[in-house]
Structure 1
Amino acid sequence: MRDGWRGWRKRAGSSFKNPFVHELRFTPLQTLKLGVMTLTLFPVRLFFAAFMMLLAWPFAFIATVGRSEIIVEHQCLWRRVVDVILRLIMRAMWFAGGFHWIRVKGCRALPAQAPIITLAPHSSYFDAMPVTMTMASIVMKAESKDIPLWGTLIKYIRPVFVSRSDQDSRRKTVEEIKRRAQSGGVWPQIMIFPEGTCTNRSCLITFKPGAFIPAVPVQPAVLRYSNPLDTITWTWQGPGAFKILWLTLCQLHNDLEIEFLPIYTPSEEESRNPQLFAQNVRRIMAKALHVPVTDYSFEDCQLAMAEGQLRLPVDTSMLEFARLVRRLGLKRENSEIEDYRRRALKLQGMKQNVEQFALFLGQPLSPVLQDMFALFDEHDEGLMDVRELVIAFSVVCRPTKTLETIKLAFTMFEDEQNGGVTEEELECILHTALGVTELKVSRLFRAVDVINAGKVTFEMFRSFAEQQPDFAEEFLYAENTGFFSNFLSSGIASNGFCPDFSPNEHQKKVK
């Protein structure tokens, strides 16, 4: 059973790179340089950048006083002057941060030609540079306008605000984007990061459809940061916001290139199908960036960052499983989990071939289903244990509820007569829940099996977990440093925030 995830890895041809993780490792020389810059360059740059923001505030405040949020006023002379001043101040702020030269390739379209600009990849708050250079509108959380100083600067660019407290927010946001996009160039262009969250730029994840629903021409724009030491990337797992700022300001020079690609006008079919429109624009942007596309999404980011008692390792195959669940259209509901568990119990551990697996899921035999089967194909034999599917499905549906998933697994693996699971069965349960090829659980099993019975029940496991809430750190991760070393050595942790330009969708998902 320990080879449950190996089948897919063989077929994939290469290991999966988690787009939501960023690691930084420093050589001794880089560490020395960082120490010197921290004492010399960093405080000067930080002070100057903060001063530039303070300087920009009164101009932005004057320009927004009494301004309508429904119509666009005539761009009179004094407003044009304020606009130029603010652009210069913002450029000085970025210059202070080490972005001395920002290369621009291609030609930015006029608002009447392309009302929406789609930017990717989205990997950092430094991606705000194109916004401040163009003073284009963006989509932002409504709470942002109440932030002192920053809120005034945000309101100046006339963003489309979305509210988490408004249940109808997504519809209103789409309608407002459509209204502005179809104004014939009266409103400023809207810059949208269609990925909806930050990645490490190793690929382009699924584009959200909001920028493509209005069915108007869009101009794709790609961002490239080419510093040898990537201090820019700010993902869900990796250095936090202040650390990224500190490390970036300590670099002598930071490189950014913005390339505006040709305007993309949707076909009739794409106008009717925003998802198709988004996929085709993403394909063009990925080609320009020379990176692959992947069907991973913002929801997969939530899975990767779930704070259960077992955290997913960097190279987990659970994200691949979640992607296949989505593509097959399986319902992520507790009733589905229970139905799968009940039917898996009836099989009593009997292995299934791919045709039987298709019948189990009630799905036609398709390439997507075969990919999912390969994830659980033990030893590449053309057979799988559907109990492993149920465990993985439970993790995807309720990633923070570790003990519920383990309890579910125990009910499927426990010996009906004597109860409990063996060390090999516990290994299967946990390596499936973590989405890894192999897992050693000897230390953990011995710690739970205090009476040396050779088996442990769920009650024993739960009691142990209650007494040792951090049991995974001591008894599991420490014994499996091969794929958990990224967590143990580099101190990767959630950065606590990642820009999401569709917050209402996020809210619906987590409810």
Structure 2
Amino acid sequence: MTVTLFPVRLLFAAFMMLLAWPLALVASLGSAEEEPTQPPTLWRRLVDVLLKAIMRAMWFAGGFHHVTVKGRQALPSEATILTLAPHSSYFDAIPVTMTMSSVVMKAESRDIPIWGTLIRYIRPVFVSRSDQDSRRKTVEEIKRRAQSGGKWPQIMIFPEGTCTNRTCLITFKPGAFIPGVPVQPVVLRYPNKLDTITWTWRGPGALEILWLTLCQFHNQVEIEFLPVYSPSEEERRNPALYAGNVRRVMAEALGVSVTDYTFEDCQLALSGGQLRLPADSCLLEFARLTRALGLRPEKLEKDLDGYSSIARTRGGEKVGLEEFSAFLQVPVSDALQDAFALFDESGCGMVDLRECVIALSVVCRPAQTLDTIQLAFKMYGAPGDGHIYEDHLACILRTALGVAELSVTNLFRAIDGEDKGRISFADLQRFAELYPNFAEEYLYPEQRPFHGCTRTPSTPTPNGFCTDFSPEGSDLGAKPPSKKLD
């Protein structure tokens, strides 16, 4: 297939995109913020028809000979937002090109040659994952369009916010549900004997997926439009509850489980940097609890210096639950007690605020390992020279990795080349530059989880790292076990 079918399909698909490009370019001229005319002009409707036909021919050439559509797509007056899941591949663009609905997508997509022009034609809502203000503007734009009375095209949103492997639905982002308007859930299936579609964090790359799919003679895709979901008053007031209930409906239709984990948790679990988190890290549980407390990563990151200053002032003095609550500026709750228990290793009802700040730094900046360690050195370092001792390094790295026990003796001696019995952050930084993979040799063997964390499942989890929650069981507001495990 590589030497026969693949090149023919690739050339034909490229030709179709080149054919569609000038139509989309001309039709997308002008301001993208300008409200569409109602009803659409004759030439716009003609371009819509031509582009749909060209795109359908392109997918047909790629082996998607028949697209199975179940249910009925709601009218814009019935549902202005369509929520699609699971999001597992760039082939999820098929329903977008079939309906010419607007989409919410990464801002980087508009810079893709040719494809970016086709994207701009459907008047998308662009979001930048790195720009926190962009996220706020995206939510406002979704709300404005959703409440425009059908003047804008329907918006297709993939509420998971990232690609998964279709074995479970991760936590939905609330953007599609903040407007509080009815949404129509749409589920996607690829019932192929050989899965060449799924594109996830550790799976094949984009080009390999394209090659394998075009080499497969026939590719199947099913698009099912579920009944419109109208929110209750409580769901309108609580977008997270609304998102969770819609996710449960979609999970039941797909026959898969749901998980509390989010896109940010995926980043945390698979973060790079000098300290890669071990599989049994409790920081994923801590990240979940910070969300339950309403502590947003973007705000926490801004407040880290303030938190560290308070913790440095307190030194090694431990605090109880009430002071812990005041420190984080959140009321005492079950979630706060569970977070407190993660740091109360001895069960004495007291915790060190410095450990909490380190954990918050890792959750906010999962790939910026040295920034977190530098922050920790400022809190643990001796007045004046900022040096720390071996027991301090052990505490810092245990907390940064989310493990209960960790031997740092060999690492400390390697860094302390002059045998001074203490090290500075500059010493550690120089060592990390010379040995960027030092953690693999010195830190990772024989780690055990925090006592306050739930046990790592002994059987494989549904998608490799997500804990399994059945669709029948509510995962919203569920209280994780806070009893310390022996």
TM-score by length of structure 2 reads 0.73
Tell me, what secondary structure is at the counterpart of 1:312?
coil
The answer for the alignment partner of 1:340 in structure 2 is: 311
Mapping for residues 329-408 of structure 1, pairs under 5 Å:
329-330=294-295, 332=300, 333=303, 334-343=305-314, 345-347=316-318, 365-376=332-343, 378=345, 387-408=354-375
Distance, in Å, in 1 between the alignment partners of 2:448 and 2:68 is 41
Contact 1:410/1:421, CA 8 A, preserved across alignment: no
Label 1:107 to 1:471 Cα distance change in 2 as closer, same or farther (>3 A): same
| Partner of residue 57, structure 1 | 21
2:84 to 113, 119, 122: 119
After TM superposition, the structure 1 = structure 2 runs for residues 88-127 of structure 1, keeping only pairs within 5 Å, are 88-127=53-92
**Secondary structure, aligned partner of 1:104:** strand
Q: Report the CA distance between 1:60 and its aligned residue.
A: 3.1
Q: 1:117 to 1:325 in 2, by over 3 A?
A: same
Q: Which residues of 2 match residues 67-146 of structure 1 at below 5 A?
A: 69-72=34-37, 74-75=39-40, 79-140=44-105, 144-145=109-110
C-alpha distance in 2 between matches for 1:288 and 1:357: 42
Aligned to 2:481: none
1:429 aligns with 2:396: yes
Deviation, 1:137, is 1.5
Say which structure is richer in helix: 1
Aligned length: 441
Deviations 1:352-379 (A, max 9, x none): 8878866776765532123324434548
Alignment root-mean-square deviation, CA = 4.3
Deviation at 1:262, TM superposition (A): 0.9
Residue of structure 2 in register with 1:30 after alignment: none
Q: Is the 8 A contact 1:97 1:249 kept in 2?
A: yes
**Cα distance between partner residues in 2 of 1:229 and 1:72:** 44
The residue type equivalent to 1:106 in the other structure is G
Distance 1:151 1:390, change over 3 A: closer
CA distance in 2, matches of 1:109, 1:86: 21
Q: Percent identity?
A: 67
Question: Conserved in 2, the CA contact under 8 Å of 1:237 and 1:305?
Answer: no
Of 434-443 and 240-249, deviating more is: 434-443
In the alignment, the residues of structure 1 paired with residue 440 and residue 244 of structure 2 have an alpha-carbon distance, to the nearest angstrom, of 40
State which of 193, 200, 212 in structure 1 corresponds to 2:177: 212
Query: Which of these residues, 409, 431, 435, is aligned with residue 464 of structure 1?
Result: 431
Code of the aligned partner of 1:137 = S
Whether contact under 8 Å (1:217, 1:265) holds in the other structure is yes
- 1:153 matched to 2:140? The reply is no
* 1:422-456 deviations in Å (ceiling 9; x for gaps): 3x764553243123466565653453244567765
- Aligned equivalents of 1:58 and 1:411: distance in 2? 58
Q: Distance in 1 between matches of 2:43 and 2:330?
A: 64
**2:106/2:127 contact within 8 Å kept:** yes
Asked whether the equivalents of residues 415 and 421 of structure 1 are also in contact (C-alpha less than 8 Å), the reply is no
Distance in 2 (alpha carbons) for counterparts of 1:437 and 1:248:
45
Q: 1:237 to 1:371 in 2, by over 3 A?
A: farther
Paired residue type of 2:214: L
The equivalent position to 2:10 in structure 1, one of 46, 54, 74, is: 46
Question: Does structure 1 retain, via aligned residues, the 8 Å contact 2:405–2:448?
Answer: no
Task: Give the SS at the match of 2:169.
Answer: coil
Change (3 A) 1:157 1:287: same
**Which region of structure 1 is more displaced relative to structure 2, 453-462 or 40-49?**
453-462
Distance in 2, Cα, partners of 1:340 & 1:356: 12
SS in 2 for 1:262: coil
Structure-2 change in CA distance of 1:74 and 1:375 (3 Å) = same
Measured in 2, the distance between the counterparts of 1:301 and 1:155 equals: 29
Aligned match of 2:459: none
Q: Which residue of 2 aligns with 1:20?
A: none
**Alignment deviations for residues 448-493 of structure 1 (CA, whole Å, 9 cap, x no partner):** 244567765655433322433443355556x57999xxxxxxxxxx
Q: Label 1:453 to 1:165 Cα distance change in 2 as closer, same or farther (>3 A).
A: closer
Q: SS in structure 1 opposite 2:432? A: helix
Equivalent AA in structure 2 for residue 393 of structure 1: L
CA distance in 2, matches of 1:317, 1:165: 25
* 1:383, distance to aligned residue in structure 2 (A): 7.8
CA distance change for structure 1 residues 252 and 386 in 2, over 3 Å: closer, same or farther? farther
Shift of 1:205: 3.5
SS at match of 1:103: strand
Q: By how many angstroms is 1:132 displaced?
A: 0.9
Asked if the contact 2:404/2:447 (under 8 Å) is kept, the reply is no
Q: Using the TM superposition, give the Cα deviation of residue 260 of structure 1 relative to its aligned residue in structure 2, in angstroms.
A: 1.4
- Separation in 2 of the partners of 1:89 and 1:295? 40
| Whole-angstrom CA distance in 1 between matches of 2:72 and 2:48 | 20
Which residue is 2:249 aligned to? 284
| Alpha-carbon separation, structure 2, partners of 1:403 and 1:168 | 26
CA contact (8 A) 1:345 1:412 kept: no
SS at match of 1:346: coil
Q: How many Å separate the matches in 2 of 1:82 and 1:140?
A: 22
CA deviations 1:158-195 (Å, max 9, x no partner) are 33456899997566655544454344444422111223
Higher relative contact order (CA 8 A, sep 6+): 1
Equivalent position of 1:23 in the other structure: none
Matched, 1:198 2:163: yes
Deviates more, 1:323-332 or 1:69-78: 69-78
User: Which residue identity lines up with residue 282 of structure 1 in the other structure?
Assistant: R
- 2-side partners of 1:92 and 1:430: how far apart? 55
Please say if residues 141 and 163 of structure 1, whose CA atoms lie closer than 8 Å, have aligned partners that are also in contact.
yes
How far off is 1:335 after superposition? 0.8
SS in 1 for 2:7: helix
Whether contact under 8 Å (2:35, 2:152) holds in the other structure is no
Does the CA-based 8 Å contact 1:198-1:235 persist in structure 2? yes
Q: Relative to structure 2, which stretch is displaced further, 57-66 or 186-195?
A: 57-66
Match of 1:266 in 2: 231
**Equivalent residue letter for 1:430:** L
Q: Distance in 2 between matches of 1:390 and 1:439?
A: 19
Whether the aligned pair in 2 keeps the contact of 1:248 and 1:254 (CA below 8 Å) is yes
Aligned with 1:336: secondary structure?
Answer: helix
- Measured in 2, the distance between the counterparts of 1:96 and 1:380 equals 64
Code of the aligned partner of 2:17: M
Gaps of 5+ in 1: 1-36, 484-511
Q: Which residue of 2 aligns with 1:317?
A: 282
Q: Distance in 2 between matches of 1:224 and 1:248?
A: 15
Query: Is the 1:337–1:393 contact (alpha carbons within 8 Å) kept by the matching residues of 2?
Result: no
C-alpha distance after superposition, 1:5-35 (max 9, x if no partner) = xxxxxxxxxxxxxxxxxxxxxxxxxxxxxxx
